[in-house]
């Protein structure tokens, strides 16, 4: 007898996909924050390089915020429409 997993409901599948996507986005964003910090450290006080590094960090933090907000909105939507 071979075990077969029960089919996932649409809501559970969406939650799982969003969870994976959010995890990937956060991981990549953390790498960009580290890259921006590195660029900031090696900028040597150059205003252009410092601004570029600061922009990288800000955009990465915004990406983390948007990813977390998407996760929250999906959870709220699933809870509203779940029977």
What pLDDT score does 17 carry? 87
pTM: 0.76
Q: Is residue 18's pLDDT more than 60? A: yes
pLDDT at 83: 47
16, two tokens: 């799982």
| Torsion angles phi and psi, residue 45, rounded to 5 | 85, 0
Distances (CA, A) of 70 to 9, 22, 33, 34: 20, 8, 20, 23
């Amino acid at each position: 007898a071979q075990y077969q997993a029960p089919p996932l409901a649409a809501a559970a599948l969406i939650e799982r996909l969003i969870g994976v996507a959010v995890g990937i986005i956060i991981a990549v964003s953390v790498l960009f924050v580290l890259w921006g910090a590195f660029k900031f450290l090696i900028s040597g006080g150059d205003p252009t390089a410092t601004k570029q590094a600061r922009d990288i960090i800000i955009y990465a933090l915004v990406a983390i915020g948007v990813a977390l907000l998407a996760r929250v909105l999906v959870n709220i939507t699933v809870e509203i429409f779940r029977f």
